[in-house]
Amino acid sequence: MKLNQNSISRRGFLQGAAVASLAMGAGLYGCSSANGSGEDDSAPAQAAPSVWDIEELGEPAETLTADVCVVGGGGTGMAASIQAKQLGLDVLLIEKHSQLGGSFSGTEGMFAIGTQWQKDAGIELNKDDLLVKAVEFHHYVASQELYKAFFDKSASNIEWCESLGIKFAEVRAMGASDPCWHVYEGAPAPGAQFVENMIKAVEKHEIRTEFELSGKKLLTNEDGSVAGLLAARADGTVVQIDCPAVIVGTGGFSNNMGLVEELGNNPDLVAAMLDNGRTGDGIKMVKAAGGAMVSSPGTLMTGGPSVIGTSFGVSEAFACGVQPAIWLNERAQRYVREDMFERNFSYAGQSSAQQKRVLSFVNQALVDRFESGEGALVGVGTHILKGTQMPNLSRELESLIEMGIVAKGDTVEDLAAQFDLDGNALRATLDRYNEMCANGRDEDMFKPAEFMIAMEEGPYYLMDCYVSYLTTVGGVKVNPNAEVLRDDSSVIPGLYAGGCDAGGLYGDTYNVYVAPGSQAAWCIYTGRVAAEQAAAYIA
């Protein structure tokens, strides 16, 4: 099991329970002293630190030069670096970790329309119709200008990736979407295979790379154009990088819970998966240099109830928790049709994020089915397909029971008591659910009859969940050239942002319903376009 998140669970872990795989992030706020601290109470009050503050940096101990510095070695940064090198630029790629890839290994495929894959499969989609569908999905909060440029280049994105040695397995729909999701080879972990091939392409192009070096602060000329940036090595050494162009692709701010909360999310309910280094460094330094933020910068790619201590693509207990059995809130009541994870995982996440608490309920009969019977009722990405058995499920559940994350009981009343729920309310919910199963119709949430499976007998399992998100998908405002814009819509010369640092493609919800894999494709698109524009700017 693997859990990468920056905050402790709002319940058990706050009371001292331990999960070996839980990664706790350092606090973003300083501690203030009360009376008796030895401080002079008459002294002027100090302003509380802001989550947007950039740490104080010392004088540079060394200087590097390049035509363009790419900040961040994930999907966006690797794409930008390769494209820039292909265009003849002297590229310096800096990465805060000791290896490339970032969270892109968590992707499974990317959106595109008009590809040879679709033509060979006889798939005919109208790009303009899909574009309108996308901006309507986002209530016209998203930029139609960005969508048009992005969609127009999406097919060439696939071709460019293939030219680097990336292999795709198929094109298909995800849930209720149109068939425009191009899945990489390498299931059940296709993202890892994609990243491995991209790293080989970086090495083949002999791109100069500095590891364990984090971009911190942009340097500008008197006219506001980019002059370079300051970066910090793992040992604190400050490095000045002189360059006329900077491409920022640091992966968003998923692991910076201060920013997550600042931008309108509940830190007690949501938690990030994947890489733990996405602390908003790129967005913060762009904002400090005058870059504007889009109207929905705090958008999370949520995915529904996720059993605490588990991770998507790794744990069978995670897959069990999102199966269409019963999802409950703090009142032990259902709140959405539970097949929503398969139909539209973003909607599953959004509905879950509106609750105060999220839990998943199954009985032993369903566990047996998942483990050794007919298998999963619905698929979970490329990790577990519909009908796939989960042979390790009981072992994982027992481990989670020991940690206090999963409760098991012969009666629902016993179960409710273990998690401080109203036993009468839980009994009423289950009785109502079983009644509707017998009638073959979900009259409350309208879940399809095929998923209405009665749970008349125990033992029962109750899984404590958080609302997981794979990444943030909002950030600084850019134009279709990936150029960073100020509040007055003017361009900051020489500054580009891409991937999860660049906003404008979404409203308050990731649009898997319309364009599955759009964020992965957006990373490649913005990385490439930023490199093209940087080359033109430098020339």
Whether the CB-CB separation of 411 and 340 falls below 8 Å is answered with no
- pLDDT (0 to 100) of residue 366: 98
pLDDT, tens digit, for every residue of 168-194? Answer: 999 999 988 999 999 999 988 899 999
* Structure confidence at residue 26 (pLDDT): 25
CA 348 vs. chain centroid, Å, equals 15
Please, where are the H alpha helices in 138-244? Answer: 144-152, 154-163, 190-204
Distance CA 323, CA 387 (A): 12
Domains of the chain (ranges; CATH) run: 62-254+473-538 (3.50.50.60), 300-469 (3.90.700.10)
In this prediction, residue 17 carries a pLDDT of: 33
pLDDT by 10-residue block (mean), the chain, 539 residues: 35 34 27 35 60 92 98 98 98 97 94 98 96 96 97 98 97 94 93 97 98 97 97 97 98 94 90 87 97 95 93 89 97 97 94 96 98 94 89 97 96 94 97 98 98 96 95 96 98 98 96 94 98 97
Q: Name the token pair of 11.
A: 């319940």
CA 357 vs CA 419, 423, 463, 464, 512: distances in Å = 11, 16, 11, 8, 24
The helices-and-strands tally (H runs, E runs) of the chain is: 16, 21
What confidence score (pLDDT) does residue 107 get? 94
> What's residue 45's pLDDT?
53
How many Cβ atoms from other residues are within 10 Å of residue 200's Cβ?
13
DSSP letter string, 308-329: TT--TTT-HHHHHHTSSSEEE-
Q: What is the pLDDT of residue 10?
A: 40
